[in-house]
Amino acid sequence: MSTRTLPVRNPRSGEIDHEIAVADAADVASTAARLRRNQPAWAALSIGERLEVMRRWSGEFAKIAQQFGELEAVDTGGTHTSFVQGFITLETVNGWIADAESSLESAGVHRTAVSMPTVEVRSQLVAYPLVGVISPWNAPTMLAMLDAIPALCAGSAVLWKPSEVTPRFTRLFFESVAQVPELAAVFDFVLGDGLTGQEVVANADIVCFTGSVATGRKIAVACAERLIPCYLELGGKDPAIVTETADIDRATTAILRGGAYATGMVCFSVERVYVHESIHDEFVAELVRKAQLVHLSHDNAKAGHIGPFTFAAQPQTVLQHIADARSKGAQVLTGGAVEQHGGGLYMRPTVLTGVDHGMQIMVDETFGPCLPVMAYRDIDEAIRLANDTEYGLTASVIAGTADEALEIGRKIDAGSIFIQDTFLMAGKGRTIGTNAFGFSGVGGGRTGPESILRFVRRKGLLIQNGEPADLLDDKFEDR
């Protein structure tokens, strides 16, 4: 048993008020082995039986959903979404209970072989034994459940390592799991830092990770060496295009929320804005006016609009990007400074102009409430600028009509395009699966009804209903 511990900072007070015991290699291996031993019995259940177990867990989790949200909000320092995270988790669980059976059945095959009419072809779905889920410090439960819940429904066991920055909620979460022994046998967690994460990768049969490109590269290499699949979501530098026909009030409202919600600490936050030169000045003036109305939540976590930075080191990245932009001629029209309130680190929505792609703030992921606005001459230039990136997670287009925006959106290289709004990722849910472009992701979609198929391998069962071919009759015929 490891004796190493890690301190955990409260993002609102700035104080170290929690500590976790770090799982070492032996701890992770032991937990993984136990889950792996129990997985065959879980997979042997019918899908209906597994879903009944999940339904019982949903009932247990419902009892703590409110308390769970309060606890995750302590972890993240968040406003709004964190407090209702328990209910978002319930929706994820109940949604997969409703959809899992039909989603798995859609992958089934039972037909006659195209090239051999006497051969009947059937399929069998075999779950990967152990799924490793490594989740980030922003929206830690939501992003883990995108993978863990469908994996469990598919018949896999799941080993989850949450971020060491936001670990408090896991104990309460797994108290609800413990109330359902069949689920507790195949669903568990380990706490720790990157070293613990490495051990999860070393013990899993498939890995799901959300986080930075740098860490994602390391995981991809480790999985490649073991010849196991990995699904990586690695952030974005998500553009928004505003055309000259757009309603400025609508556009500024959507883009302010898209860039500043959750202090910009969302992988699909708007991080760069391209506005037609004919409306640029008016757009910027209105965006600044609205940005100045945003209140920090330091007095009341449930009353303000945006909260503190969750991770104490993140403001330094944001300040570096702002300083780089300023040094190259950009103007900061509002925000731009880190404010400390009660030990928490905050930043008001930050609008910048005079920016270009020679600045970090236009090309590197900022992960803060920054909205750099750049003018463009024509729509071809706007599309070129939007696609001038290593990333490709989401993009937004706001125009005079949805049809106009759609035509532009079809030309942008990103996995999801938000039309006439921003921040519409929740609309994807189990409705549609998408693929990221560039460095934003590797592997199949994490959403949509087919996302559960990531966790199963399809086996072909081929039945000869006619006579087998006879080698002795196999002779060449001149055609």
Q: Per residue in 52-72, pLDDT tens?
A: 999 999 999 999 999 999 999
Token reading at 276: 């037609």
- Going 161 to 163 to 165 to 171, the CA torsion angle's sign is negative
Name the band, by pLDDT with cuts 50, 70 and 90, for residue 429: confident
What value does the mean pLDDT of the chain take? 96
Helix pair 280-291, 248-260: axis angle to 10 deg: 50
Question: For the CA atoms of the chain, what is the radius of gyration?
Answer: 25
Q: Report d(CA 414, CA 428) in Å as an integer.
A: 14
**Does residue 1 have a pLDDT over 70?**
no
**Does residue 402 have a pLDDT over 90?**
yes
Place of tokens 């959750």: 262
pLDDT of 430 reads 81
The residue annotated as part of the active site, out of 233, 271, 365, 404, is 233
Q: Taking a C-beta distance cutoff of 8 angstroms, is the pair 343, 13 a contact? A: yes
| Choice among 197-206, 230-239, 470-479 with the minimum mean pLDDT | 470-479
pLDDT of 221 reads 97
- Going 253 to 393 to 104 to 221, the CA torsion angle's sign is negative
**Does residue 79 have a pLDDT over 90?**
no
pLDDT of 318 reads 98
**Does residue 478 have a pLDDT over 90?**
no
State residue 210 phi and psi, 5-degree precision. Answer: -125, 125
The upper half-sphere exposure of residue 344, i.e. CA atoms within 13 Å in the direction of its Cβ, equals 25
**Does residue 479 have a pLDDT over 80?**
no
pLDDT of 217 reads 96
Task: Look up 407 and say whether it is catalytic.
Answer: no
What pTM value is reported for the model?
A: 0.95
Token reading at 89: 């988790």
Please name the residues in contact with 349: beta carbons below 8 A apart, sequence gap of 6 or more: 256, 259, 260, 291, 294, 306, 334, 335, 369, 371
The mean pLDDT value for 118-128 works out to: 97
Of the two residues 74 and 425, the one the predictor is more confident about is 74
pLDDT of 81 reads 81
The mean pLDDT value for 218-230 works out to: 97
What is the share, in percent, of the chain residues with pLDDT greater than 70?
99
Q: Taking a C-beta distance cutoff of 8 angstroms, is the pair 144, 472 a contact? A: no
| Choice among 172-186, 336-350, 428-442 with the minimum mean pLDDT | 428-442
pLDDT of 257 reads 97
Name the band, by pLDDT with cuts 50, 70 and 90, for residue 13: very high
The mean pLDDT value for 368-387 works out to: 98
pLDDT of 45 reads 98
pLDDT of 3 reads 83
Place of tokens 């037909």: 111
The mean pLDDT value for 310-338 works out to: 98
State residue 380 phi and psi, 5-degree precision. Answer: -60, -40
Please name the residues in contact with 403: beta carbons below 8 A apart, sequence gap of 6 or more: none
pLDDT of 427 reads 82
pLDDT of 433 reads 84
pLDDT of 147 reads 97
